[in-house]
Amino acid sequence: MKETYFIKQGNVVTVNYAYNDNGVIVYPDLIKVKIALDNGEILGIETTGYLNSHKEREFNGPQITLEEAKAKINDKLEIMSENMAIIPTEWKTELVCYEFKGKVEEKEFLVYINAETGKEEDILVILDTPGGTLTV
């Protein structure tokens, strides 16, 4: 599991963990853990994403190269990190993508480029709030 994002509300932090399959972040297999900040006690766990989505996946590797995927991104994005990721779609399917985290001026973004077609699948804005990091 890989910690992705968290949010702090009062004296509780909720941490999102995504399954990591040999370096590929599998976002549909998400687990959320609520932890008390005063004593570290686990207050709750939400495993619906993991229980409903986790399965053995076949991943034959990308059809386009990392460099081809980068070429699809806006030149203004200063890339800070890159990963392979499986992302859920609104149609309850999954896509294998290159995930690029980067900045344009002071705003941070996640850009997902389909590793099979080269299509830009999604762009999320990363919001750093006093309570944690959110994506919209």
Domain ranges of the chain: 2-135
Q: How far is CA 32 from CA 15, 74, 84, 93, 129, in A?
A: 6, 32, 21, 21, 19
Distance CA 4, CA 82 (A): 14
Distance CA 103, CA 108 (A): 4
pLDDT > 70: percent of the chain: 99
pLDDT band at 28 (very low <50, low <70, confident <90, very high): very high
CA neighbours within 13 Å on the CB side: how many for 97? Answer: 24
pLDDT digit string (tens) for 62-81?
A: 999 999 999 999 999 999 99
